[in-house]
Amino acid sequence: MTHEMKGHYAKKHSPERSPRPEIAAALREVAQPEGVPCAVAHDIAARFEVPPLEIGFTLDTLEIPICNCQMGLFGYQPERRIVKPAESVSPELEAEIRSELQNGKLHCKEAWDIAKRLKIPRMAVSAACERLGVKIAGCQLGAF
């Protein structure tokens, strides 16, 4: 979901598709004025045993933004993104990132997997990507 789409997220999807009412209710319950935090959205996906994209679809349909991306890429105020380039990137982390690139980009899920394998924060992976000039794509919630 881009900033320009704010208030028009549902237009990304077919009007014939509807969200599951119980998921919509759970998201409405946790929504804050700025939206639903990425971590909370993923927790709800796990609770309902659905892919994160299903949560993103439901949020879009409800016109609720996603905030506080766990990669630091979007959803923060006032600067929108908080990730900064790492001062340096270890050869091990760079090799992991480069091994997972698809069309020159690192998908969000693979970034999370790298963080888990190396036992480092997710934001450390996105900071390394910033330093290396690697774009992160394919938000698991469908925001980008």
66 is written with which tokens? 């996603």
Tell me the per-residue pLDDT of 28-55, one tens digit each, with 9 for 90 and over. 999 999 999 999 999 999 999 999 999 9
Tokens (6 digits) for 61: 């349909």
Residue 8's pLDDT band (cuts 50, 70, 90): confident
Pair 13, 57: CB distance under 8 Å: yes
Token pair recorded at residue 67: 């905030």
This prediction has a pTM of 0.89
Give the model's confidence band at 16: pLDDT under 50 very low, under 70 low, under 90 confident, else very high.
Answer: confident
Task: Output the six-digit token pair for 22.
Answer: 């119980």
Closest CA to 57 of 71, 33, 41: 41
Half-sphere exposure at residue 1, Cβ-oriented, CA atoms within 13 angstroms: 30
How far is it, in rounded angstroms, from Cα 11 to Cα 4?
A: 12
**In the predicted model, what is the mean pLDDT of residues 111-126?**
98
- What single-letter amino acid sits at 19? P
- Helical H segments across the chain, by residue range: 21-30, 38-48, 52-62, 91-99, 108-118, 122-132
- How many residues are listed for the chain in this entry? 144
Q: Using 50, 70 and 90 to split pLDDT, how confident is the model at 6?
A: low
pLDDT at 2 over 50: no
- pLDDT of 7 higher than 70: no
Binned at pLDDT 50, 70 and 90, residue 12 comes out as: confident
> How many other C-beta atoms can be found within 10 angstroms of the C-beta atom of residue 65?
21
At 73 the three-state DSSP class reads: coil
